[in-house]
Chain A
């Protein structure tokens, strides 16, 4: 990559307000998760009934819950959980979905038809429905919710990849590559994938946000992450029974989820503007 090109990329990043704000919010999230690996202001696990419902103080920044656990620490540790779930679920969808989409675009014909029809009806099973099915059989748990969200991501990536790959396959330079005798596999990796990578990255960012939302919803229902592992969704569930006593407990976890999702959505928007300047001019 030449110097001028990378410079203009950086300056485009700096000019996109969504990218900067979203990037800072996402970075904040990652830093919280990283710090919580070795330090939290209090304990997210220790149950000390004597310390229950303490108001915010220097020791307990956001107070304690009904078991005397430190809320700020639970929020920080919960970040890890959300990130792990989202990373694994998006990776499942990304690896399987992109491969299937590339295959469909490269082979066309029956292969494409089968892959696309399969992904069509998997849309009838949104993440929460498939998670409900899996937990009804295998019992509630973090792994099952990750699997369900990941499965839901596969057709999303497959459709997007196939659509944008088909457009590239029709371009002259691909025709030239075919005329010069390159095989379909080689063309896919040398010409198709690099050209659709930016679209896939943007989609991955947005699905990352959706995965965090879905995980929180499942944990709220009691189907996702199980105690004692702190999770934003379950914190909301526990706080709901205390709405009359201490409504602020129901505010913090939701704020954490919304911040994460908002940051990632902004980042995705910004990335789209940067990676595909044609789209940003149209808006």
Chain B
């Protein structure tokens, strides 16, 4: 097990380094002159030269990459060009909104998936199963940002139950904030929940056909006890993997959905940064999002081995 984990940790570190290099290459080397990107093509030579010096762009790329990474590890990212405040402050504030939103959405989608998936599997090929699977097929096809707009029209404009957007800030009390995040997380969780529900259903059905389940039933274990003791643990392995994969979809989903609700999270931050040509902010937010995706996949890999010890033997 420890060899397996050590191997995975090494892969994790290598992947993170690789990702940061790709981002650095695309954002700072590819455009030729980043100062020109920030100031626009009409900028005077003096302004470009001054900014180049201010941002230290005249140093060799390897040195710049190194100081970016060491600064990152110390929480020192320099100042945003557009806002003149430390980038770390901007990112911290946005993270405090995006992370709870992502966690809320993934929790909501797992609950949705387990309830729907287990119900559908238990009523295999009956009316309830067919209806739910039809609805989930629709759920997969609906763009989350459109669903977000529809939810605003229904719950904020027609019924006036929930706010149409914005975020009050955590100082205003947790309840108000959760209320503001409810519609966005619902918009995000519907799509992911629909995908996970289908996986849960087919995976439970598959495990129910295994010999050891038949044996358990044959020795007199009730359907319910078989489900909890034998089926669920095995059936949840594929669900776990797909949840890991879906997390990256969910994160990019937050980027879009945050903009629908005007919630000042990472997604809004990165879009504003693009419009302000604040490439350094874009660079850091992208790295942060990529790091989150990579880390979640790493955790899923480890959990995977914990849930299914057979995988360690193969060590794929």
A interface with B by C-beta (< 8 Å) = 117, 120-121, 123-129, 132-138, 140, 209, 213, 216-217, 220-223, 236, 239-240, 243-244, 247, 250-251, 253-254, 257-258, 261-262, 265-266, 282-283
- Contacts A123-B293, A137-B30, A243-B152 known; 4 new A-B pairs at CB < 8 A: A124-B290, A125-B290, A244-B157, A262-B138
Cβ 8 A contact of B141, one of A221, A250, A262, A283: A262
User: Which residues from chain B contact A283 at a C-beta distance below 8 Å?
Assistant: 202, 205
A124 to chain B: closest CB distance in Å? 4
Asked whether any CB of chain A lies closer than 8 Å to the CB of B61, the reply is: no
Q: How far is the CA of A257 from the CA of B140 in the complex (A)?
A: 12
Interface status of B252 (Cβ within 8 A of chain A): yes
Given contacts A213-B143, A258-B142, contact A132 B274 (CB under 8 A): yes
Which of A124, A135, A216 interacts with B274 by CB under 8 Å? Answer: A135
- Report chain B residues within 8 Å CB of A243: 149, 152-153, 157, 164
Interface centre among A134, A137, A239 (most CB of B within 10 A): A137
Residues from chain A with a CB closer than 8 A to the CB of B290 are 124-125, 129
Closest to B294 in A: A124
* Residue among A129, A134, A222, A266 making CB contact with B252, cutoff 8 Å: A129
Question: Which of A216, A221, A223 contacts B143 (CB under 8 A)?
Answer: A216
Closest 10 A/B residue pairs (Cβ):
A254-B146, A262-B141, A128-B252, A261-B141, A124-B290, A136-B282, A121-B15, A126-B252, A247-B153, A137-B31
Any A CB within 8 A of the CB of B271: yes
B279 contact from A123, A126, A128, A136, Cβ within 8 A: A136
Which of B150, B202, B252 is close to A254, meaning CB atoms less than 8 Å apart? B150
A243→B149 CA distance, assembly (Å): 8
Query: Is B140 within 8 A of A121, CB to CB?
Result: no
B273, closest chain A residue (CB): A136
Determine whether B297 belongs to the interface, using a CB cutoff of 8 Å to chain A.
Answer: yes
Tell whether, in the assembled complex, residue B282 and residue A220 are in contact, meaning their CB atoms are under 8 Å apart: no
Given contacts A124-B294, A133-B26, contact A251 B141 (CB under 8 A): no
Cβ–Cβ < 8 Å partners of B202 in chain A: 283
Tell whether A126 pairs with B27 under 8 Å between CB atoms, given A136-B274, A243-B153, A265-B137: no
A236 touches B153 (CB 8 A): no
Majority SS at the chain A contact face: helix
Contact assessment for B293 and A124 in the assembled complex, using a CB-CB cutoff below 8 Å: yes
Q: Which residues of B line the A interface, CB within 8 A? A: 11, 14-15, 18-19, 22-23, 26-27, 30-31, 37, 137-138, 140-143, 145-147, 149-150, 152-153, 157, 164, 202, 205-206, 248-249, 251-252, 255-256, 259-260, 270-271, 273-274, 277, 279, 282, 286, 289-291, 293-294, 297
Give chain A nearest CB distance to B300 CB in angstroms: 12
In the assembled complex, how far is the CB of residue B124 from the closest CB belonging to chain A, in whole angstroms? 10
Report the Cα distance A194→B23, complex, angstroms.
37
Q: For chain B, what secondary structure do more than half of its interface residues adopt (helix, strand, loop), or is it mixed?
A: helix
Q: Quick check: A120 and B137 within 8 Å, CB to CB?
A: no
Q: What separation, in Å, do the CA atoms of A123 and B18 have in the docked complex?
A: 12
Given A247-B157, A257-B146, decide whether A121 and B273 contact each other with a Cβ distance below 8 A.
no
Known: A124-B294, A127-B252. A236 touches B145 (CB 8 A): yes
Knowing A137-B27, A243-B153, the reply to whether A236 touches B19 (Cβ < 8 A) is: no
8 Å CB contact of A129 from B141, B143, B289: B289
In the complex the two chains form, what is the Cα distance from A133 to B152 in whole Å? 29
Q: Check B150–A123 contact: CB distance below 8 A.
A: no
How long is the Cα–Cα vector from A244 to B204 in the complex, in angstroms? Answer: 44
With both beta carbons as reference points, the residue of chain A lying nearest to B295 in the complex is identified as A124
CA distance A222 to B256 in the complex (A): 11
Can you give 28 A-B contacts (C-beta < 8 A)? A117-B14, A121-B18, A121-B19, A121-B22, A121-B294, A124-B290, A125-B290, A128-B255, A132-B255, A133-B26, A136-B27, A136-B274, A136-B279, A137-B30, A137-B37, A137-B279, A216-B145, A217-B143, A221-B255, A240-B149, A243-B164, A247-B157, A250-B150, A253-B146, A257-B143, A258-B138, A261-B140, A266-B137
- Chain B residues with CB under 8 A of A265: 137, 140-141
- Candidates B142, B270, B291; contact of A132 at CB < 8 Å: B270
Smallest CB–CB gap between B150 and chain A, Å?
Answer: 7
Distance between A30 CB and nearest chain B CB, rounded to angstroms: 18
CB distance from B94 to the nearest CB of A (A): 14
Docked pose: A127 CA to B146 CA in angstroms: 18
Given contacts A132-B286, A240-B260, A258-B142, contact A125 B37 (CB under 8 A): no
Question: Which residues does chain A contribute within 8 Å of B11, judged by CB atoms?
Answer: 120
Chain A neighbourhood of B164, CB < 8 A: 243
Q: Given A136-B273, A247-B153, A265-B141, check contact A125 B146 (CB 8 Å).
A: no
Contacts of B149 in A (CB 8 A): 236, 239-240, 243, 250, 254
Taking CB atoms, residues of chain B closer than 8 Å to A250 are: 146, 149-150, 153
Our pick among B30, B146, B271 for the contact of A221 (Cβ within 8 Å) is B271
User: Closest residue of chain A to B206, judged by CB?
Assistant: A282
Chain A hits for B23, CB < 8 A: 133
By a CB distance below 8 angstroms, the chain B residues around A137 are 26-27, 30-31, 37, 279
A244 to B256 Cα, complex, angstroms: 21
